[in-house]
Amino acid sequence: MLLLGLTGSIATGKSTVSNILRAAPYSLPIIDADVLARKVVEPGTPGYRAIVSHFLPSTPDLFVPASECDGQEDGPTGKGRPLNRPALGRRVFGSDGDTAKDRKVLNGIVHPAVRREMYKAMLRAYLSGAWAVVLDIPLLYESGWERMCGTVMVVAVSDPDIQMARLRERDSHLSAEDARNRVESQTDVREKAQRALHRGDSGSGVVVWNDKGKEELQKEVERVMREVRRRSPQWWTWMLLLCPPAMVMAGVWSFLRSWRMQRKWAEEKGREKSKL
């Protein structure tokens, strides 16, 4: 089973591509890290309690108002009021030292819990006989998940202004400064695109350019999926499903190959910085 890592940056259209891959003719199972990230911090979970313990003393608006929970002080589940995600976002998005530290704390709470849920979902997809599963992970490179993926697909835009305009159109409550902070808190999507193409082999790293409308985006997805499918024919999928030892060997080989690609990219970027 191919692990297809799908990533991008905020407001580049990654979720739209994810929905395209979920539907026919692809009908691929989607493991959405953002959905799981919400699940693991729902009221009553260990992640929720850890976030409340760290952020509540300095974030008085950490919870959604009781008026939005049907007037229940402890929320509709009885396990606590849901987190106020915009308020938490203001604490962790930005470039100053304090927000960077808070973002690291939040990631340290959420990421391990999300990984556990993803491993469970990957196992279910493998047992169902899927030829590929899409790992929809915004921070694919930053979290190290690139090493797990046989193919990396980046959804990108070539013009940063398009990204900013789409973000403010989607989240109208954001000021221009808030939008800029959120975009700049992530790795530049054009660098992510370069990194995907750096993987070399046809279909191992692909870029879906989303500078235009949905019709053009559909064609872009069709183009890159033809490349991806050539690397994972149906007979290979069935062999891995019916022969678990072969699946393990293929997984180890794919991991080592991705690890070498990741190291080569880091070495080249290091040499570029040393020349400056």
Residues 173 and 266 in one domain: yes
Name the token pair of 257. Answer: 């190959």
pLDDT tens digits for range 207-239: 999 998 899 999 999 999 998 988 877 777 778
* Whether the predicted pLDDT of 241 surpasses 80: no
Average pLDDT, rounded, for the chain = 86
pLDDT tens digits for range 104-155: 889 899 989 999 999 999 999 988 888 999 999 988 988 888 989 999 999 9
Residues 57 and 19 in one domain: no
Residues 11 and 42 in one domain: no
Tell me what pLDDT residue 97 has.
67
Alpha-helical (H) ranges within the chain are 14-22, 33-39, 46-55, 85-92, 97-127, 160-170, 176-184, 189-197, 214-231, 234-242, 244-275
Residues 52 and 173 in one domain: no
pLDDT tens digits for range 250-260: 888 888 888 88
Phi/psi region, residue 80 (left: phi>0; alpha: psi -120 to 50; beta: rest), is left
Buried b (16+ CB within 10 A) or exposed e, 20-52: bbeeeeeebbbbbbeebbeebbebeeebbebbb
- Sign for the pseudo-dihedral over CA of 93, 94, 99, 100: positive
Tell me what pLDDT residue 244 has.
79
pLDDT tens digits for range 30-41: 999 989 999 999
Residues 85 and 196 in one domain: no
Residue where one domain finishes, among candidates 74, 99, 127: 127
Confidence of residue 276 (pLDDT cuts 50, 70, 90): low
Number of domains in the chain: 2
Residue where one domain finishes, among candidates 89, 106, 127: 127
Cα(210)–Cα(162) distance, integer angstroms: 10
Please tell me whether the overall predicted TM-score, pTM, comes out greater than 0.85 for this model: no
Residues 6 and 41 in one domain: no
Residue where one domain finishes, among candidates 127, 143, 176: 127
Residues 101 and 117 in one domain: yes
pLDDT tens digits for range 47-63: 999 999 988 888 888 88
Cα(2)–Cα(7) distance, integer angstroms: 16
Cα(261)–Cα(8) distance, integer angstroms: 19
Residues 147 and 179 in one domain: yes
Tell me what pLDDT residue 96 has.
65
Residues 119 and 135 in one domain: no
Q: What percent of the chain has pLDDT over 90?
A: 37
Q: What percent of the chain has pLDDT over 70?
A: 96
Secondary structure (3-state) at 157: coil
Tell me what pLDDT residue 245 has.
84
Q: Which CATH number fits the domain that encloses residue 242?
A: 3.40.50.300
Residues 44 and 114 in one domain: yes
Name the token pair of 260. Answer: 């070498």
Residues 144 and 252 in one domain: yes
* Whether the predicted pLDDT of 95 surpasses 80: no
Name the token pair of 267. Answer: 């070495």
User: Domain range holding 119?
Assistant: 37-127
H or E stretch including 155? strand 151-156
Residues 152 and 271 in one domain: yes
